[in-house]
Structure 1
Amino acid sequence: MSSTATSAPKGRSFPKVEFTDSEAGALEFPGSKSRSYNYFRPAKLRATVYEDVTVDVQPDPERHLTQGWIYGFGNGPGGYPKEWTKAKSSDWHAFLDPNEEWEQTIYRNNSAVVRQVALGLENAKRAGAYDGWNAAWQKFVARNLGAWMHAENGMALHVFTSIQRSGPTNMINTAVAVNAAHKMRFAQDLALFNLDLSESLGTFDGSVHKQVWASAEEWQPTRKVLEELTAVGDWAELLFGVNVVFEQLVGQLFRSELVMQISAKNGDYITPTLVGTGEYDYNRDLGYTRALFRMLTRDEKHGSGNKELFGQWLSAWVPPCLQAARALQPIWSQPAEKVRTFADSFGAAKEKFTQLLEEIGLDVPKELEK
């Protein structure tokens, strides 16, 4: 009988693993153990949380993608095209939001405002603060503050929301997105205020604002200029037209130079508190807007061209905004207590607008002097 014994299986051999120190994470260098980013130059000695979570988060072929955009739109442009605005910058990434807005600050700041508004309205209803309002003031608030709610909502949805992805850097887009959130929240606050007044006062007309915004003669130029602004395709022009021109000549004129000035004299201490939150928001949003356009006018390579471009934008939007402001003059005479004239309010608004243009580095348009 033949031997059926089998020999032991031969051992299998594998290539010997050799470490070349070229694998990811092998190289040690100063800061390699740090948990903070250091691939950009912070504005100050140390990077802030805002800079860590926004700077260079959005890719850019000029800084990171040596192969070009790895994604794009169906009609050709890739990523975040700089051609979406006629304004030019030597380095769009140089813009940093002076408010340092990022995800955490958005929720923290807005929740604080919401709590303030909710407590104010709750306490007003509990104390019967609306009972002393005379018929003229009720009509003023129902018609005009209600109409302004539509303006705020239009800016939220059709201006800032529409361009919050159009900027070439994450820092610009984040600031614009926060601007959209501010406008949306304020419009909703005005709507809730309207509902509270309708429930608290049997003589308050909570629906007249729709007719006023749609057909009241004094509000149509404001509505017209906002609708024309929403048709602008250039994101920087849209931001300039709204935050630099419209908000200065119309928005602040109505909110700050009228409503907040005359409310208390008409026995109303609630409305200026509510409207004040909108003014606070705009002041913050004006901060980033001023910083952005001042950066563009001071650009060593493109500054002069940007100034010329912004001058054209002023020529396009100052006249219709002045027309909208002057058309609102009749509402200054509607309250029972007329403690401020239209000339005083309009003069203050134009003075603030002139100061803003000087801070950006732009000439005051001749239309403002008429």
Structure 2
Amino acid sequence: MQYELRYKVIEPKRQTYQNIIDRFGDQPATRYQEATLDIEPRENFHYRPTWIQDRELYDEKYSALRLTDPYSYTDPRQFYYTPYVTNRAALHDEFGKTLAYVEERDLLAKMPEPWRAVMASVIVPLRHYESGAQLVSVTGARFAYGTSLSQCASFAAFDRIGNAQMISRAGIAFGSGTADVLTTAKEEWMNGEHLQPLRRLVEEIMVIDDWAEGLLAIDAIDRRLYPVMYHGLDEAALMGGAGAYSLFAQYLTTWFTDQRKWLDALIKAWVGDPEHGEANTAVLDRIESEWGARADEAVGALTAVVRGHLGEAAEA
């Protein structure tokens, strides 16, 4: 007796979840859309926050910057948990390999003395800046309205801890495998005159009530700090016999480029919002005016120290 195998295609009753169908119709959706859109609860809360009882647990009024539809903004990187973790695991794996190469040859400890001074007095203490920025991002993760916003802030918070760890690991390699350099870096952060404007600024940003303003205030610092301290010193390091610094700094430059993608897209969404765009623009202008000038001062104090150590090389 012979049997014939036949294939039968069973068409699904629907292509995706109902919340996605409500937005786009019954058609295949991306994993990012299914993991993001309309995920945050909007009703049936059991209680209001005890510390601010005119708000819901998830409430758009936690920020002056609003979107008519919070899900009109989507992460241009299309990050939800799985691709985010995969991407960052690869980044830190590559950093680990680079650092192992640097450590085996003791390259950070062998840098010229001016670069060693920059590393000890400016770069390694910035691990504490990253920790402060992480807390600001956590606030955004908690209070941002809409999953497409809150998950970006969550990933940024994880990134900041990763940045602090990278700087710490580079600091330990700089100290030839000892953690003493981290203790010295903390003392610099707490008492170094050139770091106090930045420390004061970060601590004030940490207690801002508006989560979006906090993120943008930190971004005002980032936009001045990263191009100068990491990308800006890259060529000077290569030409000045401090190639190990360039190898380390490239990872932070890569992260900053990635960070800009979702923040720039969010700012564009705020400005272009059909209902709140004009009010958002006014708020954005105020934030840049208020925090940008102080960021200039804080980063300028660090830049002056770097120039003092490196001289004309820092101007390149």
Corresponding residue for 2:8?
none
Distance in 2 (CA, whole Å) between partners of 1:294 and 1:205 is 41
Whether 1:165 and 2:146 are equivalent positions in the alignment is: no
Of the three residues 239, 249, 255, the one matched with 2:224 is 249
Amino acid at match of 1:193: A
Show the counterpart of 1:355: none
The Cα of 1:205 is off from its aligned counterpart by 4.7
TM-aligned CA deviation for residue 160 of structure 1: 0.6
Of residues 207, 210, 214, the one that matches 1:234 is: 210
What's 1:280 paired with?
254
Q: Is contact 2:16–2:29 with CA below 8 Å preserved after alignment? A: no
Partner Cα separation in structure 2 for residue 35 and residue 90 of structure 1: 25
Query: Which residue among 56, 80, 84 is the counterpart of 2:62?
Result: 84
Equivalences for residues 310-321 of structure 1 within 5 A? 310-321=284-295
Give the total of aligned pairs: 301
Correspondence for 2:189: 213
- The separation in 1 between residues aligned to 2:24 and 2:262, in whole angstroms, is 18
Alpha-carbon RMSD across the aligned residues, in angstroms, is 2.5
User: Corresponding residue for 1:56?
Assistant: 38
Identity across the alignment (%):
17
Alignment of 1:95 with 2:107, yes or no, is no
Q: 1:197 and 1:325, CA in 2 relative to 1: closer, same or farther beyond 3 A?
A: closer
Correspondence list, 1:8-23, <5 A: none
Asked whether the equivalents of residues 164 and 176 of structure 1 are also in contact (C-alpha less than 8 Å), the reply is: yes
What's the counterpart of residue 328 of structure 1?
A: 302
Residues 173-202 of structure 1, C-alpha deviations (whole Å, 9 max, x = no match): 11110101111001011111111222259x
- Give the superposition deviation at 1:163: 2.3
Secondary structure of residue in 1 paired with 2:175? helix
Amino acid at match of 1:162: T
CA distance in 2, matches of 1:145, 1:131: 14
Tell me: CA distance 1:46–1:337, structure 2 relative to 1, closer, same or farther (3 Å). farther
Name the SS of the counterpart of 1:39 in structure 2. Answer: helix
Change (3 A) 1:35 1:137: same
Give the TM-score normalised by the residue count of structure 1. 0.74
TM-score w.r.t. length of structure 2 = 0.86
Q: Is residue 120–residue 270 contact of structure 1 (8 Å, CA) maintained in 2? A: no
Match of 2:113 in 1: 135
Shift of 1:46: 4.9
Q: Pick one of 244, 262, 269 that aligns with 1:270.
A: 244
The runs of 5 or more residues in structure 1 that have no matched partner are 1-29, 61-67, 345-370
Do the aligned residues in 2 keep the contact of 1:261 with 1:340 (CA within 8 Å)? no
One-letter amino acid of the structure 1 residue matched with residue 13 of structure 2: S
- Structure 1 residues 131, 87: closer, same or farther in 2, change over 3 A? closer
Does residue 47 (structure 1) correspond to residue 29 (structure 2)? The answer is yes
Change (3 A) 1:208 1:79: closer
Residue equivalent to 1:196: 173
More helix by share: 2
Does the CA-based 8 Å contact 1:133-1:266 persist in structure 2?
no
User: Which residue in the other structure is 1:116 paired with?
Assistant: 94
**1:338, CA displacement in angstroms?**
3.6
Question: In structure 2, how many angstroms separate the alpha carbons of the residues matched to 1:228 and 1:74?
Answer: 23
Q: Cα gap change, 1:337/1:291 in structure 2, threshold over 3 Å: closer, same or farther?
A: same
Matched residues in 2 for 1:281 and 1:131: separation? 25
* 3-state SS of 2:232 partner: helix
Tell me which structure has the larger Cα radius of gyration: 1
CA contact (8 A) 1:262 1:337 kept: no
Task: Give secondary structure in 2 for the equivalent of 1:58.
Answer: coil
Return the alpha-carbon distance in structure 2 between the equivalents of residues 36 and 313 of structure 1.
Answer: 39
1:21-51 deviations in whole A, cap 9, x for unaligned?
Answer: xxxxxxxxx96254566424459x8522111
Which runs of 5 or more structure 2 residues have no equivalent in the other structure? 1-10
Q: 2:16 and 2:273 mapped to 1: Cα distance?
A: 34
SS of the residue corresponding to residue 314 of structure 2 reads: coil
| Maintained 8 Å contact 2:15/2:29 | no
How far has the Cα of 1:214 moved from its partner?
1.4
